[in-house]
Amino acid sequence: DILVTNAGGPPAGFFEDIDDESWALGFERTMMSAIRLIRAALPHMREKKWGRIVAITSISVKQPIPGLLLSNALRPGVVGMAKSLADEVALDGITINAVCPGWTATERVDEILQARAESRGISKQEAAAEIEQSIPMRRMAKPEELAAMVTFLCSARASYITGTTIQVDGGAFRGLM
């Protein structure tokens, strides 16, 4: 059995823009959706003594993104849960990993670009170009590139990879680990 969790990013915003309701909704969508899906899948995986779980999060778990405070705060919780759970289920033949996409050409990123452009009085293309200049590969990822990593982690070739967080970001993350 294979489970891939992913939640649309919580709304963009800065600390003073985010009310309690937005925090609660962000937690529900980001953390609890993953928890509930994993809770439902684990018994089946344990019974078969095999399973793959991949939690898609964001590069913001390793390097906060300005203006995405909720994502920066909540998505690391998914990674922490996945890392802890990987230890608990390893002997059941189940691997759990997190994949952290950087800027990827998706509808969500298109919305973020539009909002950035409007707030700064520039075009969406200029907003995208600014981001792409910060990526060593000078472009955003294609969704298929993220899918290739997830596919690998779900394969037999990744049977010894568990509890790991992997970036798919064109080198955008500047840290060592």
Residue 96 lies in a domain: yes
Residue 115 lies in a domain: no
**Residues in Cβ contact with 175 at an 8 Å cutoff, skipping those fewer than 6 apart:** 62, 63
- Confidence (pLDDT) at 175: 87
- Confidence (pLDDT) at 108: 85
What are the CA-CA distances from residue 20 to residues 14, 34, 76 (Å)? 13, 21, 19
Count how many domains the chain has.
Answer: 1
Residue 43 lies in a domain: yes
Q: Which residue has the tokens 């995405």?
A: 68
- Confidence (pLDDT) at 62: 94
Q: Which residue has the tokens 């000078």?
A: 138
Residue 34 lies in a domain: yes
- Read off the pLDDT of residues 9-46 as tens digits, 9 standing for 90 and up: 788 889 999 999 999 999 999 999 999 999 999 999 99
- Confidence (pLDDT) at 85: 98
Taking Cα atoms as reference points, which of 104, 100, 99 lies closest to residue 144? 104
Backbone angles phi, psi at 46, to 5 degrees: -65, -40
Say if CB 31 and CB 77 are below 8 A apart. yes
Q: What is d(CA 72, CA 64) in angstroms, rounded to the nearest whole number?
A: 5
Strands (E), 62-169: 94-101, 165-168
Q: What is d(CA 123, CA 87) in angstroms, rounded to the nearest whole number?
A: 47
Q: Which pTM does this prediction carry?
A: 0.91
Residue 129 lies in a domain: no
Residue 52 lies in a domain: yes
- pLDDT band at 48, cuts 50/70/90? very high
pLDDT surpassing 90 at residue 66: no
Range of the domain at 80: 2-102+162-168
In the chain, % of residues over pLDDT 90: 88
Mean pLDDT of the chain: 95
CATH of the domain at 56: 3.40.50.720
